[in-house]
Each structure stands twice: as structure tokens, then as C-alpha cells.
Structure 1
Amino acid sequence: MSDTVRLVCPAGRKHVELWAGYALVALGIVAIAVDPTHWANITLGVLTAVIGAALAVHGHLIKVPVLEVSDGEFRYERGRYVVSVPFHDIGSYYVLPGRIRSLGLCDTAGRPKRFPSLQSRRSSRTYLPLTGMTKPAKVESFMAMAGIPPRKRSLSA
């Protein structure tokens, strides 16, 4: 596979924090502009703008998972956590249902692959966490474009 196939998982919390932060900054500026001579408006406006700026900065720091297949390699990236698997080692995949979806990969024999855990919380895990807003159909479409069959249609099982 020479083309790059990429899926960036949406994160609702990130969008909410960004929009709320920018709205609070704007509200703080409006509060100061309404009556710039009164100390209460200035204090309220500055506090609102500072809280909004902090919320927006925190929203920018939230890392979303990125799935990518290119140059014969499957790559999962979430911030500093990166998993790279040679494309020929992947036999199939499955999507775990739940509030926060996860992606599991199987080897060519049909056994789940194990990955190192995020932030050393466990010794290993058999899935890669996605976000709650990630639709299973979108993951299935991405994997179909990458050429990885679902577990129920795996050639080895």
C-alpha cells in the first residue's frame, strides 16, 4: 500500500472546551467594554477572560487518537503514545462497543494482538482506545479502505 489512509477520531470534550473557552474570553471582553470605569466590571471581565483562556488552552492540549495506514504499516497515535504494527502482521480487526469505543487488532492466526498500556497503568492491553464520538461505521470504512477485514470475515477464522 503506497497511499496513506488516515482517520482522526473526533473528541467532543475538546470541541466543548475550545468553544466554551473562546465564548468566555469574548464575554469577559464584553463585560469590560460595557462599563470600563467600574471596578466590578473590570474584575468580572478579567476573571471571566482568564478562566476562558485557561479552558481554551486545556482544550488545545487534549490529544485525540489518530489511525493511519501507510507504507506497509498500521500506526495508532494518541499524544506521545504510538503503536506501529507491520501491515502484514494484521489479520483482522474488531470494534469494541461501549461508551468509549476501542479498536482491537488480530494477528493472521486470529488471536488478539497485545499492546503496551497507556501511561504504564497495566502491563498490556488487547485494544487501542478511541473516543466516544467515533462511529463504528467510520472505523469500518477506514479499515475497509486500508484493506483489513473485520474479524467475522477473517480468512483465518
Structure 2
Amino acid sequence: MSETVRLVCPSGRKHAELWGGYLLAALGVLAIALDPSHWANITLGVLLLLLGGGLAAHGHLVVKTPVLEISDGEFHYRRGKYEVSVPFGDIGSYYLLPGGVRSLGLCDTAGRPKRFPSLRSRRTSRAYLPLTGITSPAKVEAFMAMAGIPPRKRSLTS
């Protein structure tokens, strides 16, 4: 496959965190603007500004969304600094794990689940790659179909 196929997973928690931070900061400005002569309004406004700024900064810096990409004959998974690369020929099929945080599992050509190193540098390994909870299974299925990877239930080797 010479062209690049890419899927960026949406992150609802990040958007909620960002908008919550912006809302708290706006409430802080509003509290100070209503009555800047009273110390309680200034204290409340400064606290709301600090909390909103911290929440918005955390939303921008800490929460990383997963990216699935197939290019140059390799499958790439990136989430922040964590990256997994698997040669395209080693992937036989895929499966999706349902739940609060959806996950993508890859199987080798014999139908066995592939193992990946842990996301947090622990000694354990996992057989799946975490996506986000609001990632649509239909989008993942469409991405994998464009890449030419069959689902596990329709795999020739299962």
C-alpha cells in the first residue's frame, strides 16, 4: 500500500475539560468585573481563573488522542509518546473490544492476538491498543476496510 490511510480518534474528555476550563476562567473574569471593590469577588475571581487555567492547560498538554495510520507497508499506532509499528504483512485480522474505552486488537496471519508493550512502561504487555470511548466502531471498521485488513470474524485463518 503506497498511500497513507489515517484515523484520528476523537477525545470527548479533552473537549469537556477544555470547555470547562474556559468556562471557569470566564466566570472568574465575570466575578471580578461585577464588583472589583470587594475583596471576596476578587478572591473568588482569582481562584476561578487559576482553576480554569489549570484545567484548560491540562486539557491541552496531558490528554493525547490515539492516531491509527497505515503507510509505507506498516501499521502505526501513536498516543502521545507511545508508538507501535507493525509490518502490514504480519497483520491477519483485527477485532474491537467494546467497553467504556474501546480497544483495537490485531491478530497475526495465524489468527493469534498480537502482544504490545504496556502504555505506561510496565513489565506487562497487552493484546490490544486503547482507543477513546467515543470512537465510533463504524469509523474503525471503515478505516480497516480501506487498509484491507479483515475483521477477525471474517478472517480466512480463524
Structure 2 unpaired stretches of 5+: none
Residue aligned with 1:53, SS:
helix
Residue 83 of structure 1 pairs with residue 84 of structure 2? yes
Q: Which residue of 2 aligns with 1:150?
A: 151
Residue aligned with 2:20, SS:
helix
Mapped partners of 2:116, 2:6: distance in 1: 20
How far does residue 156 in structure 1 lie from its aligned partner after superposition? 2.3
Residue aligned with 1:30, SS:
helix
Residue 25 of structure 1 pairs with residue 25 of structure 2? yes
Mapped partners of 2:134, 2:123: distance in 1: 25
Query: Which amino acid is the alignment partner of residue 55 of structure 1?
Result: L
How far does residue 122 in structure 1 lie from its aligned partner after superposition? 4.3
**1:69-115 CA distances to partner (integer Å, 9 max, x unpaired)?**
11111001111111000111111100011221110001111111111
Structure 1 unpaired stretches of 5+: none
Q: Which residue of 1 aligns with 2:133?
A: 132
**1:29-70 CA distances to partner (integer Å, 9 max, x unpaired)?**
111111122211111111101100000011112011111111
Q: Which residue of 1 aligns with 2:53?
A: 53
Q: Tell me the TM-score normalized by structure 1.
A: 0.95
Mapped partners of 2:2, 2:46: distance in 1: 52
Mapped partners of 2:38, 2:137: distance in 1: 53
How far does residue 7 in structure 1 lie from its aligned partner after superposition? 1.1
Q: Which residue of 2 aligns with 1:99?
A: 100
Mapped partners of 1:146, 1:57: distance in 2: 35
Q: Give every structure 1 segment of 4 or more consecutive aligned residues whose post-TM-superposition deviation is greater than 3 Å.
A: none
Mapped partners of 1:47, 1:97: distance in 2: 40
Mapped partners of 1:123, 1:36: distance in 2: 55
Mapped partners of 2:67, 2:102: distance in 1: 14
Q: Tell me the TM-score normalized by structure 2.
A: 0.95
Length, aligned pairs only? 157
RMSD: 1.1
Q: Which segment is superposed worse, 33-42 or 85-94?
A: 33-42
Mapped partners of 1:113, 1:55: distance in 2: 37
Alignment of 1:62-73 (within 5 A): 62-73=63-74
